[in-house]
Amino acid sequence: MSYHPAPEYDVVGVGFGPSNLALAIALDDCARQQSLKCRSLFVERQQDFKWHGGMLLPGSSMQISFLKDLVSLRDPTSPFTFVNYLHKSGRLLDFTNCKTFYPSRIEFNDYLRWVAGQFSAMVAYGETVEAVEPVHAGQSVTALRVLTRMADGKERSRVTRHLVAAVGGVPHIPSVFRAVAMDPRVVHTSGYLGSTLAAGSDGRSPRVAVIGGGQSAAEVTLDLSERIPGAQIDLVFRGHALKPADSSPFVNEIFNPDYTDYFHSRSDGQRETIVRSFRNTNYAVVDPDLLDQLYRMTYQQRVAGARKLALHPRSEIVAAHASPEGVVLEFNNKDEEVRRRAAYDAVVLATGYERSPIPGCLDPISRYIESASLDRDYRLQTSPAFRPHVYVQGCAETSHGLSDTLLSVLPMRAQEITKSLVSTTAREQDAASSHDRAERVYS
Ligand SMILES: Cc1cc2nc3c(=O)[nH]c(=O)nc-3n(C[C@H](O)[C@H](O)[C@H](O)COP(=O)(O)OP(=O)(O)OC[C@H]3O[C@@H](n4cnc5c(N)ncnc54)[C@H](O)[C@@H]3O)c2cc1C
Ligand SMILES: NC(=O)c1ccc[n+]([C@@H]2O[C@H](COP(=O)([O-])OP(=O)(O)OC[C@H]3O[C@@H](n4cnc5c(N)ncnc54)[C@H](OP(=O)(O)O)[C@@H]3O)[C@@H](O)[C@H]2O)c1
């Protein structure tokens, strides 16, 4: 006879970034308001809370209003708002004097950490979820076994009724860079601050290539120019020019939570068209103020006759290899068909992120998943014999719109998932207590 362990948790969250942090708040609200407690645990591979730590650059600021924090749009009276964080930190008035909706990313990370600290009892830090396996009872799958690995290599297993995966993106390394990706002189922006490059250069003037034309590329370029004033920087990108992010007010309405309803109800083709036509709100675009700053910097370098930053638009990297004198890149200028070759002391890949619609750790339950597309309430569509609910946050741009990878809809999405989870947990808890009552009567 096989052993069926009882679920220890009603829900396990994979990852504890902003998405699952917003969920922790929504579950906590629900426990207070409806006295229905979901036994929950979040598993996070980092040793403590950090929001894109490799890019917490001194000069970078948020690309979204602080009012779109973890909870305000759903409940501005919550104790977990950014405004309450400022109040508790004694900076509310001083922040007001800054006259901005866009705090620094360092401060927003501190806000997120402050919230995360209040949920630390329900987070297992330093554990990576490697696999989520089915737990069978007869023909049905009734629960999930979550297998994790700790930094010291030890494994752990936990059983849960339901699961919410919010694992974010993984660095996109274009195939042309695969051969040099492990070279210590090559770094993706996600690891920029932890790299030797960001540590400085002992007074040398390194040659650095930054690849890409998005926000990360622009921020790293500016940071490098300030951090290593002598650095010779080549910013290499495929587009014709660095382009501004469209954050104008009418366009910004596509990030409103109710736009998700509209988007989700469209056909696949219509959704694709919408994402394509609004791509310039988010991808391969740069905050307009930052563009001005970069332009002024290059102009001043020309005035001083000391050009340190060179832009290479319309340029495609066609080969990369490591050599003792540097990482050698070959790139084509698209118009002139000129092939350029240069050796660099360091290469920064600002080439963005990839998100898989179904995170890899769910592979062991893939045969129960009927579609890669999520239901409106972010639940994976699974076969009838599969009883656990599996929700995915942040990977559903094609079905739920461009806001899905961002902070814009976090509070509402967390509430929608909570509502769906809690109604099923309430039914399960009712069924369990009727079963207990029946056992008491008949024992
Ligand atoms: C540099 C940068 C700046 C950004 N700035 C903004 C902004 O200003 N405004 C905005 O709206 N969006 C911004 N974004 C977009 C970003 O996606 C969201 O802000 C936000 O981080 C999404 O939260 P998340 O929890 O879904 O994903 P993430 O923040 O990526 O969090 C996922 C978490 O899951 C953990 N994890 C992954 N796999 C596992 C596993 N197998 N086991 C355990 N843990 C795991 C990771 O360690 C991570 O902590 C930015 C993105 C970047 C890269
Ligand atoms: N301060 C902040 O709030 C902040 C800071 C950084 C990032 N972010 C956010 O993080 C997200 C990602 O931004 P990002 O700048 O990292 O990525 P991104 O916007 O996806 O830009 C990636 C860049 O890499 C280029 N690229 C991709 N594959 C390439 C290849 N094979 N060869 C050459 N170039 C290639 C793309 O060029 P093509 O267009 O030619 O494909 C694009 O210019 C966005 O949501 C952004 O707003 C926010």
The string of DSSP codes covering 63-118 is SS-TTSSSSTTT-TT-TTSHHHHHHHTT-HHHHHHT--S--BHHHHHHHHHHHHHT
Q: Check: CB of residue 146 under 8 Å from CB of residue 8.
A: no
| Nearest atom within ligand 1 for CA of residue 130 | 41
17 in contact with ligand 2, CB cutoff 6 A: no
- Domains of the chain, CATH where assigned: 9-169+355-442 (3.50.50.60), 172-245+282-352 (3.50.50.60)
| Nearest atom within ligand 1 for CA of residue 63 | 8
Ligand 1 site-directed mutation target among 12, 19, 64, most atoms within 8 Å of CB: 19
What the block records as the tokens of 233 is 């920087």
Rounded distance between C-alpha atoms, residue 427 and residue 425, angstroms: 5
Sorted by sequence, the CB contacts under 8 Å of residue 216 that are 6+ apart come out as 55, 189, 350, 352
Q: What is the mean pLDDT of the chain?
A: 93
425 pLDDT tier (thresholds 50, 70, 90): confident
Query: How many other CB atoms sit within 10 Å of the CB of residue 274?
Result: 17
pLDDT of amino acid 172: 98
62 in contact with ligand 1, CB cutoff 6 A: yes
185 pLDDT tier (thresholds 50, 70, 90): very high
CA of 242 to the centre of ligand 2 (A): 11
- pLDDT of residue 2 exceeding 60, the answer is no
CA of 76 to the centre of ligand 1 (A): 23
pLDDT of amino acid 337: 74
Rounded distance between C-alpha atoms, residue 97 and residue 91, angstroms: 10
Q: In this predicted structure, which of 197-211, 249-263, 378-392 has the lowest mean pLDDT? A: 197-211
- pLDDT of residue 202 exceeding 90, the answer is no
What pLDDT digit, counting tens, does each position of 92-120 carry? 999 999 999 999 999 999 999 999 999 99
| Mean pLDDT value across residues 185-206 | 85
**Bigger pLDDT: 215 vs 200:** 215
- pLDDT of residue 138 exceeding 60, the answer is yes
CA of 129 to the centre of ligand 2 (A): 27
Query: How many other CB atoms sit within 10 Å of the CB of residue 17?
Result: 23
| Nearest atom within ligand 2 for CA of residue 405 | 45
Whose Cα sits closest to atom 37 in ligand 2? 212
- pLDDT of residue 5 exceeding 70, the answer is no
What pLDDT digit, counting tens, does each position of 286-337 carry? 999 999 999 999 999 999 999 999 999 999 999 999 999 899 999 998 777 7
**Bigger pLDDT: 37 vs 105:** 105
Query: How many other CB atoms sit within 10 Å of the CB of residue 119?
Result: 19
What pLDDT digit, counting tens, does each position of 260-292 carry? 999 999 999 999 999 999 999 999 999 999 999
Sorted by sequence, the CB contacts under 8 Å of residue 317 that are 6+ apart come out as 174, 176, 177, 211, 236, 329, 330, 331
Ligand 2 site-directed mutation target among 219, 351, 407, 408, most atoms within 8 Å of CB: 351
| Ligand closest to CA 290 | 2
| Nearest atom within ligand 2 for CA of residue 214 | 15
Sorted by sequence, the CB contacts under 8 Å of residue 93 that are 6+ apart come out as none
Beta-strand ranges (E) seen in 138-291 are: 140-150, 155-165, 170-171, 186-188, 207-211, 232-236
Rounded distance between C-alpha atoms, residue 151 and residue 147, angstroms: 14
Rounded distance between C-alpha atoms, residue 367 and residue 380, angstroms: 12
- pLDDT of residue 441 exceeding 50, the answer is no
433 pLDDT tier (thresholds 50, 70, 90): low
167 in contact with ligand 1, CB cutoff 6 A: yes
Place of tokens 């229905």: 36
29 pLDDT tier (thresholds 50, 70, 90): very high
Any idea how long the chain is?
443
- pLDDT of residue 163 exceeding 60, the answer is yes
Whose Cα sits closest to atom 35 in ligand 1? 15
Which residues, in sequence order, are bridge partners of residue 210? 235, 348
Which amino acid type is present at position 63?
A: Q
Query: How many other CB atoms sit within 10 Å of the CB of residue 113?
Result: 15
Rounded distance between C-alpha atoms, residue 80 and residue 71, angstroms: 7
pLDDT of amino acid 439: 56
- pLDDT of residue 443 exceeding 60, the answer is no
435 pLDDT tier (thresholds 50, 70, 90): low
Q: In this predicted structure, which of 15-19, 172-176, 359-363, 424-428 has the lowest mean pLDDT? A: 424-428
Percent of the chain with pLDDT over 90: 85
- pLDDT of residue 3 exceeding 60, the answer is no
pLDDT of amino acid 423: 82
- Sequential DSSP letters for 327-380: EEEEEEETTTTEEEEEEESEEEE---EE--SS-GGGGGGGGGEEEEEEPTTSBE
| Nearest atom within ligand 2 for CA of residue 218 | 15
pLDDT of amino acid 1: 42
- pLDDT of residue 65 exceeding 50, the answer is yes
In which region does residue 287 sit, left (phi positive, over 0), alpha (psi from -120 to 50) or beta (all else)? beta
pLDDT of amino acid 308: 94
Rounded distance between C-alpha atoms, residue 103 and residue 64, angstroms: 9
| Nearest atom within ligand 1 for CA of residue 127 | 43
